[in-house]
């Protein structure tokens, strides 16, 4: 059972573990050479960050739209990446301490990644954080990665929270965009981008352990007695009945001369009068 007021959704690389974007770039370049494809320029490599492999192949690199071919190249690219990565994972400073705090307060957590589930679960065991996450969303669970909000929306469903009660922890502007599109708040971790580039996030920190439960409470804008005092509710004094009328009636009669014919374009043949009654209601 969770605390009931907040769900936390974490990205894997660059948030929980150290990220090496250069390995991702090398994997794509190696695949392009194997497939005889043009070498992707740097701005294309930036666009595919956070996407599923199939999504990047079809929508950005435009190498194929055949599902079987996309799947084959996506699998091969992941094999190249894993061989370069070597199965070595390192927790980011402060990440385990922070998720321990959330565990203490029984805040349910989800982990999202575009890595295959088998790879992700093996890595979680390697760094010793099994059992921390209520839900895991991997590449097989969604059709699209960032900047599409699908992964975060699905994670919220698995946590049984509406999106507005979830906070996403990521390390890129694509993550911020996806979280906001899902109506979630976003905390950006300045692990591969400088703080000033992440200004669109609701909060920016360099390490997760810079955050506190109070920060999350303020960010979620929720009053919860479990995490601090709640201001007492003000009791409203009953209003005394007043037999006097609360409305003031003002009857006024006046003649409006000439303006009706002028506005309507009707030629003026005389005086037009109208009787007006004005009634003002009191507070």
The residue whose two tokens read 């007006």 is: 276
pLDDT on residue 20: 87
Q: What are the beta bridge partners of residue 92?
A: none
Closest alpha carbon to 2 in 206, 168, 195, 226 = 226
For the chain, which domains are there?
A: 7-18+89-227 (3.40.50.1000), 21-85 (1.10.150)
Cα 153 from Cα 102, distance rounded (Å) = 20
For residue range 176-185, what is the model confidence (pLDDT) as tens digits? 999 999 999 9
* Block mean pLDDT (10 aa), the chain, length 283: 77 93 93 95 91 95 96 96 91 94 95 94 92 95 94 97 96 95 96 90 94 91 50 48 46 42 43 43 44
The residue whose two tokens read 């007695």 is: 225
Quick one: how far is CA 200 from the chain centroid?
Answer: 11
pLDDT on residue 21: 85
SS3 229: coil
pLDDT on residue 38: 94
For residue range 202-253, what is the model confidence (pLDDT) as tens digits? 999 999 999 999 999 999 876 544 444 434 444 445 555 555 444 444 444 4
**Which residues are CB-contacts of 55 (< 8 A; sequence separation ≥ 6)?**
143, 144, 145
Q: Are 197 and 172 a contacting pair, CB within 8 Å? A: no
Tokens of 277: 């009654």
Q: Are 177 and 152 a contacting pair, CB within 8 Å? A: no
Phi, psi of 256 (to 5 degrees): -105, 115
Cα 131 from Cα 148, distance rounded (Å) = 27
């Amino acid at each position: 059972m969770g605390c009931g007021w907040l769900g936390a959704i974490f990205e894997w690389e660059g948030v929980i573990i150290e990220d090496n974007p250069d390995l991702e770039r090398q994997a794509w370049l190696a695949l392009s050479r194997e497939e005889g494809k043009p070498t992707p320029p740097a701005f294309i490599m930036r666009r595919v960050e956070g996407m599923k492999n199939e999504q990047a192949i079809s929508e950005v690199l435009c190498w194929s739209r055949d599902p079987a071919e996309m799947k084959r190249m996506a699998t091969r690219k992941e094999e190249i990446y894993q061989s370069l990565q070597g199965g070595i994972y390192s927790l980011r400073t402060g990440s385990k301490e922070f998720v321990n705090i959330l565990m203490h307060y029984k805040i349910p957590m989800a982990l999202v990644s575009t890595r295959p589930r088998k790879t992700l679960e093996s890595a979680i065991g390697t760094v010793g954080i099994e059992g921390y996450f209520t839900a895991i969303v991997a590449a097989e669970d969604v059709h699209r990665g960032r900047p599409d909000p699908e992964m975060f929306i699905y994670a919220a469903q698995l946590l049984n929270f509406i999106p507005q009660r979830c906070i996403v922890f990521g390390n890129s502007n694509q993550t911020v965009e996806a979280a906001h599109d899902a109506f979630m708040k976003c905390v950006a971790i300045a692990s591969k981008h400088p703080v000033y580039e992440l200004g669109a996030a609701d909060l920016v920190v360099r390490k997760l352990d810079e955050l506190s439960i109070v920060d999350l409470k303020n960010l979620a804008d929720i009053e919860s007695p479990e995490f601090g005092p709640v201001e007492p509710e003000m009791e409203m004094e009953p209003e005394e009945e007043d037999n006097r009328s609360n409305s003031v009636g003002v009857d006024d009669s006046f003649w409006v001369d000439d303006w009706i014919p002028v506005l309507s374009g009707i030629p003026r043949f005389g005086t037009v009068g109208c009787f007006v009654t004005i009634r003002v209601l009191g507070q």
